[in-house]
Structures are given as C-alpha cells and as structure tokens.
Amino acid sequence: MNQNQELAVAQMRRAVHTLGSSTEGYGDITLIRFLVARSFDIDKAAKMFVQWQNWRTSFVPLNYIPQSEITNDLQHNKIFLQGLSAKGNPLVIVKVHRHIPNKDQLQFKKFVVHLLDKTIASGFRGKEIGNEKLVAVLDLQKLAYKNIDVRGMITGFQFLQDYYPERLAKCYLLHMPGFFVRVWRLVSRFLEKATLEKIVIASNEEERRALIRDIGVDALPEEYGGQAKLTLLQDFELKPLEEKL
C-alpha cells in the first residue's frame, strides 16, 4: 500500500468505530476493497463495511452455508469450480441451460452465498489475503426460455456488488443467443458501472482466443479450448486454511 492508502485505511477504521462496529481481525487489504468500491469515500466505505458485517452475521451465522440447505440448486449440476486461472484467480463456470429458476428465493440466495464463498476460498493459498478475485464464465449455449431467470441474475450480481466488493476480476458471457440480448439489457440496468466494465460478451473468435489467454489452458475445460476437466462445485475440495485475516 502507498501512503495515501494507509491513511485512508486508518481513517476508515476510525469511521467504522464511530458507527459502533469494529475492524478488529480484518487486514488492511480487506478494507481497501471496500474503499475502492466506494471510490475512497471514507464514510461510504465505512458504512458499506458495517452493513456487510451486519448482513454476514444475520444471513451467514455459521460463516458458511451448508450444502444441506441448498440441495435444490446443487442437484442441477450447473456450477463448476476449476482452480486458478493463469493470473491466479479462481475460475467458476456456469452452464446456464441447466438452471431452473428456484421459487424459494431464500434458498437461492443461500446458494449464491455458498457459491461465492467457496469460489473465493478456492483462491486462498494457505490463508486469506483479502484481495482474492474470481473469474466467471457464464455459458449460455443451449439456453431455453425455461432457463431465463432475470431475478436470479440480478440477485447474483447485486450480492457481488453489495457484499463481495472488488471480488470480481472478470465475467465472460459465451454463446449468447439473440433472444437473450433483451434480457441482458434489463439485467444491466441493475449493475454498477464498475461491474459492467468487468463483463465481456465473447461473441467472436478473437474474443474467445483472448479468453483462453486470460484464463489459461490449465484451468479452462477442453470444450472451451483448454486442457482441464470440468469439476462440479460440490466435488471440489478446499484446502484447509492456516489462518484468516
């Protein structure tokens, strides 16, 4: 961190304390994510951090979502966790045509948290540093109208924006069918500019080659030009942590 960042972190810690909360146990790098998400506005970053703490305490009291609470979404076998990309970011792939909108919105939200927590944790190298970012690939091939879930997509991206600030490195949309363009325009209205800038619609061969270069053949499955095998989210085993910051 540079001197300006160190000053901003110190000010944010005081602001969080003023709001009746604490930053004890959280490293500077974690706080930097909240500052970046709020353009280094100290008060807004502190407020966001406290809101995140309160949400985490109430929504994830165990600090994780058990698989037993999200069986409906897991049984569709639509999420794959692939290890680290060439740039060191955990890679998650979503086969959207396997998604069936969940009528139980609470359970779906828990599924989103489980997915994001496990994906981010797969990027830890013995311990959590605080600035780990994920790369997502949303594969829209074979998509049908029954798979369209506008509310679900908005929920996923809003959780990233509100509760996982600066955790998204890049999101690729592959094989987008023509009828989905209007759906994406609607979803995009709910996304912040910073989030939209990280989303790439890979619609031509050059963009797909760029995807292969950015992610790397070791993590990318064979069907996308890589050398890896698909690994279901529920089959991916996390390595134990040494410590948490």
Beta strands in the chain (DSSP E): 79-84, 90-95, 134-139, 168-174, 199-202
Q: How confident is the model at residue 245 (pLDDT cuts 50, 70, 90)?
A: very low
**pLDDT per residue as tens digits for the range 129-177:** 999 999 999 999 999 999 999 999 999 999 999 999 999 999 999 999 9
Structure tokens at 56: 């985490």
Backbone angles phi, psi at 144, to 5 degrees: -125, 165
The answer to whether residue 241 scores a pLDDT higher than 80 is: no
The answer to whether residue 72 scores a pLDDT higher than 70 is: yes
Closest CA to 82 of 183, 231, 201: 231
**Cβ 159 vs Cβ 116: under 8 Å:** yes
Handedness of CA 206, 210, 211, 213 (dihedral sign): positive
Specify the pTM. 0.95
The answer to whether residue 243 scores a pLDDT higher than 60 is: no
**Cβ 132 vs Cβ 91: under 8 Å:** no
Burial 5-16 (b: 16+ CB within 10 A, else e): beebbebbbebb
Determine the pLDDT at residue 99.
97
Backbone angles phi, psi at 189, to 5 degrees: -65, -25
**pLDDT per residue as tens digits for the range 75-114:** 999 999 999 999 999 999 999 999 999 999 999 999 999 9
